[in-house]
Amino acid sequence: MLKYLIVLTFLWSCNFSSGSAPAKTALNSSVPEVQDTLIPPEYDAGHQLIRVERTETEWKARLNKLEYNVLREEGTERAFTGDLWNNHEQGIYICKGCGLPLFSSASKFNSGTGWPSYWQPIKPEYVTENKDTRYGMVRIEVECARCGGHLGHVFDDGPKPTGLRYCINSVSLDFVPGASDAN
């Protein structure tokens, strides 16, 4: 009987430590005010997206170490390790730093790279693109247009209709299941 209880306890603990907790908790834990909420963009009188400005101290308090490294220091997560690269649910992917709706599951595809990939953002003005020449390569970096957070890179080897592959770090995003990109 004791062996049976030990085995059941072990199996039960493995189940909870293997990442089987509800996805909402794991995906949205570091940005409490955006849980289950898309924060719509605000525009100034000149129809420009109003930027979110925070100090480095505020960013460090808001983001965990990996999120800070990727979003604020242009780092990257290892391939096939992020929470969202293999997510197949319907919904919206929002910026981890500010909640701006960036990508829809309707444009997500399996690129085989180990990072979430999309063939287009929800709106082109929600992302900014910059030339990145680090590491002896020429790439196009993608940032959130509202908070300036580093998201990943865009490449021209994606599927139709755009031919683009927005290769984005999972850690730069939160996922809102069932949300629509009608904004």
Instruction: Encode pLDDT of 99-145 as tens digits.
Output: 999 999 999 999 999 999 999 999 999 999 999 988 888 999 999 99
Q: What is the CATH number of the domain that holds 148?
A: 2.170.150.20
Neighbours of 162 (CB within 10 A): 14
Query: Would residue 149 count as lying in a domain?
Result: yes
Query: Would residue 94 count as lying in a domain?
Result: yes
Query: Would residue 3 count as lying in a domain?
Result: no
167 is catalytic: yes
User: Rounded to whole angstroms, how far apart are CA atoms 17 and 25?
Assistant: 14
Count of structural domains within the chain: 1
Query: Would residue 64 count as lying in a domain?
Result: yes
Query: Would residue 11 count as lying in a domain?
Result: no
Query: Would residue 36 count as lying in a domain?
Result: yes
Average pLDDT rounded to a whole number, residues 52-72: 96
DSSP letter, residue 9: H
Query: Would residue 13 count as lying in a domain?
Result: no
Domain of 164?
Answer: 22-177
| Per-residue confidence (pLDDT) for residue 6, from 0 to 100 | 36
Contact assessment for residue 84 and residue 175, using Cβ atoms and an 8 Å cutoff: yes
Q: Which of 95, 144, 147, 167 is catalytic?
A: 167
- Mean pLDDT across the chain, nearest whole number? 81
Query: Would residue 51 count as lying in a domain?
Result: yes
Average pLDDT rounded to a whole number, residues 47-75: 94
Q: What share of the chain has pLDDT > 70, as a percent?
A: 78
Biggest CA pair distance of the chain: 73
Segment holding 93, helix H or strand E:
strand 91-95
Tokens coding 28: 């949205």
